[in-house]
Structure 1
């Protein structure tokens, strides 16, 4: 079976628009990648505007109600393999840090305000040691509101111009150059002229609209990963849960979920095989990853996202009222605290880049002389809505880490646009380790740093000095190479 045709978008035409000031850089999207890109640009002295549809920075980390950072360290193994081996995240090795830079600064500032714990430091574990078995080995947990405040402060201190409640719709392209971005908000339609554009939409929306090639989902089948709507549950009594875990209870609650399925055969599809939840900084509050779709969802389709959100909220209510109240130790009086304001989308469009990172690259541990970020997470994209169909479920990253080359952020044939985050050029399962928030922020930081070199030297993104880019990133505490003496870099093609 051959690969599916690649896709390009069609530019829309807007007659009535307000023209805003010209910016050096427009950053589309305010998730981890957008934050990294915007901060890097602004701190380099570029006039930069970040356009975000929500009312806060952080994306999945904040609006997505998933306030823990994964992938900052190497050494994780796939979730189904952990269940099979009976391991917990706490029992995994943590050899070295894969992401620092702006993500490390964010974590440090959140900690300084008493709003963050980690890595592998679980809220309330000193009082309830059993909760430690629920931890992720590289997890950094934080209070969402403090996280929002820290993101705001970092942006405002840097001089980054923020435009919330605004959707980046399209671009103006002349020849091979992006001249500006069309956006929509309560002011109507506006046009923002720019010298460079960084697409951090997660879905390569503007690369697609600009007419550059993208590919959606799996390169052969087109199938995409499941989508989650995270929920938070409060009023859980930690003491019974602590006793259950200390007495050797399964931290994934596999047997409990099997019993619930046997008791409620008519609701089997609503009961996960494993219940994944983690304690939050507030005692008795837990984040529950129980609203994951049972089938792939197209995260570029508003109807599909709407249906998933409605289903996810219903399922969260069911999990609390039927599973927590009746099956989870300490969950008898649990209440649904909140559900995410936006679904967690794992995979949609990726750009076709000047280099496309392949599954073979990741499995072999291929190194690149233009590497600008690392990913330490395991293969983390399901297929068919279940981990049972994850083709690389038991495989490890070659060399324990993924090195991401700069060229994966450059849309093939483009001049002044980059993509950063989960929409970079990574084929199939190669995206799994890269799509995690920590690596997305590192990619954004690299893209913003590249934009400064591009603009200050008046060259296109393909022509910037890679050695200078890597030097600038190292000066800003980024991690760009695998920490191994026996790694032999391969020449960038």
Structure 2
């Protein structure tokens, strides 16, 4: 017999924040870029973020380095604009290295070659400071320690319901926040979900999404020994793969992985570790996410012990820190005006409404096991492929743009565009489109593409 979910009726009069033109939800790569791009077009912008700092996976997730902003062969920088400025400003305070200096196969890109030419090493604290400065200098109103709990929708039964704002919860309690345009950069499509936009999760066969990983950083690593060992074992699929395979066969390896994901940082002896893997958990559900966090931290403890006892160069390793939140690769994807597909990425299809060029390959981690990642048996993408504006437009709802990894794409296509540089590019386009729709007093659906293209180019984006 199925359990009946208990319900509790609740209603309240809640204060309203002052209205703005553009409301950005989520301060990760897409949200930062959207807020800066919109504010630079002289509209009133508010950015709501649940943590006390900006960055999302850049900071709270400890995810790094940023994957490639170049073509697949590393010959041409494709993602520029706000992203390039962000990198340059981190470099100016000693917090990043420019991707043009980072070749494929280097320690900074985890010794991975395919799809990892020209990654961007950076320090999370530099990302926090630079993101904050860029937003404030552009005139963005930041509201931190606040998360969205509902959407405000005009006439839910209409053919094209309009999003008017959100209900958010912070230290002061519930608040209503209204705007002419809302940009959902929550990564999980939270606003879209609350507003009734149709969404999907995971692969078509069973709905399972990519697994989650809790990033952590370690110190006291012998960099030279690590690099020498990896170079002397070219047969390993990933660093230390032969050691992991033996331990897995003996039941001694604590995570469903085939190698050690490790990325050298700018600080000697400190590496980012992307090796844990939590399977079959829904990152858009609080209870499931709680279980994932618990499992991820237990994996971290076990992995540290394994590193000390088994990996050359890690004999004296210590934990530097774990991420504030587990890294979630995939949750909701909206049903948009256009769905980006694997065929689009493989063919390099041209779109009349192109807003970003990318070169990162498919990066699908097996939702049920240890396989996946870039390369391997994954279909190859074109050296350069395009993303159209329409993937950010919900099919029916007005007044809303969705940016970041919740855009309209198949499970396969999303695996390539979910990483941080494409999210910056999507966010910049969403912010500009939102500002233009405010200026034209029109829905984002009716923004003139030539106006959008012109402003993207003016803000330093590259569109081929």
TM-score using structure 2 length: 0.90
Shift of 1:269: 4.9
Distance of 2:354 and 2:259 partners within structure 1? 36
Distance of 1:155 and 1:268 partners within structure 2? 43
Q: How does 1:75-86 map to 2 (within 5 A)?
A: 75=72
Shift of 1:255: 0.9
Distance 1:141 1:13, change over 3 A: farther
Deviations 1:7-58 (A, max 9, x none): xxxxx97523111100101100011011111111111111111111111111
Q: Secondary structure at the match of 2:121?
A: strand
Q: Secondary structure at the match of 2:365?
A: coil
User: What is aligned with 1:449?
Assistant: 432
Q: Is the 8 A contact 2:216 2:274 kept in 1?
A: yes
Paired residue for 1:321, among 302, 305, 316?
Answer: 305
Shift of 1:267: 3.1
Shift of 1:248: 4.4
Q: 4+ residue stretches of structure 1 with deviation over 4 A?
A: 120-123, 129-133, 248-251, 389-392
Distance of 2:110 and 2:191 partners within structure 1? 42
226-235 or 175-184, larger mean C-alpha shift = 175-184
Shift of 1:401: 2.4
411-420 or 383-392, larger mean C-alpha shift = 383-392
Shift of 1:178: 1.7
Q: Is the 8 A contact 1:133 1:245 kept in 2?
A: no
User: What is aligned with 1:62?
Assistant: 59
| Aligned residue pairs, count | 444
Matched, 1:374 2:361: no
Give the unaligned 5+ runs of structure 2.
Answer: 1-8, 156-160
Distance of 2:146 and 2:138 partners within structure 1? 21
User: What is aligned with 1:187?
Assistant: 172
Shift of 1:427: 1.5
Q: How does 1:80-229 map to 2 (within 5 A)?
A: 93-119=73-99, 121=101, 134=111, 136-175=116-155, 176-229=161-214
Matched, 1:34 2:18: no
Q: Secondary structure at the match of 1:242?
A: helix
Give the unaligned 5+ runs of structure 1.
Answer: 1-11, 76-92, 482-493
Q: Is the 8 A contact 2:254 2:299 kept in 1?
A: no
Shift of 1:241: 2.0
User: What is aligned with 2:4?
Assistant: none
Distance of 2:264 and 2:132 partners within structure 1? 25
Deviations 1:303-348 (A, max 9, x none): 11111111111111111112x2122112111011111101111111
Paired residue for 2:241, among 244, 249, 254?
Answer: 254
Alignment RMSD: 2.2
Q: Secondary structure at the match of 1:18?
A: coil
Distance of 2:19 and 2:411 partners within structure 1? 37
User: What is aligned with 1:291?
Assistant: 276
TM-score using structure 1 length: 0.85
Q: Is the 8 A contact 1:387 1:393 kept in 2?
A: no
